[in-house]
Copies of this chain bind each other. A is one copy, B any other.
Amino acid sequence: MARKKAYIEEQVIEKAMNLFWRNGYESTSVRMLENEMGINQFSIYASFGSKQGVFKESIKCYKGKLKELVNDMEASHGKAAIKAYFYAFNNFAKQNIGQGGCLINNTFSELGTNAPEEVMTEMMAFVNELKAVFQKKLRDDDATSSHDYLAKQASFLLVAIQGMVVASKVMANSEIENFVEMTFSSL
């Protein structure tokens, strides 16, 4: 009769995600993952197949975290919802010391075109979903503008939020807040 599973994959993946978030992909060895996840290398390979497999699951876990923030935005109304998301996302991005920022952005930066197909797909999907939600919230406040016009505004906010999360690593919080305020005052 089988021994019960002693670790929950979602829990160990969350630990792995945090390590990748702090260190990046290449600078995170399997031995470090073993320490952080609290399971041995054999179990890592048995459950996830490879280091890359762990990373793929980590990206999905990260998306799940972001989904909670996006859900909060979807439950709110208009531009104010997007703005609140900016702040919430900034706070979320600052949870980690070291590299921190946005794991999706970091992964684009570090791996670029070398990222595994599945990872690229997950990340692009997230970016597109976020843009769609921005557009929907913009529509809340503006029933008459064209779809194309709102798409451009959503796209603008998408670039802006990427700038915010990258800049927040090296710039003062007051400068980030100034950026957000100016970004939304222009809409």
Contact = CB atoms under 8 A, between A and B. Distances in A.
Contacts of A111: 99
Contact of A166 (B24, B166, B185): B166
Number of chain A interface residues as a range: 35 or more
Contact of A100 (B99, B112, B176): B112
B98 A152 contact: no
Given A98-B112, A105-B109, A114-B98, A178 B156 contact: yes
A162 B156 CA distance: 13
A169 B24 contact: no
Interface of A: 24, 26-27, 97-101, 105-106, 108-114, 123-124, 127, 152-153, 155-156, 158-164, 166-167, 169-171, 175-176, 178-179, 182-183, 185-186
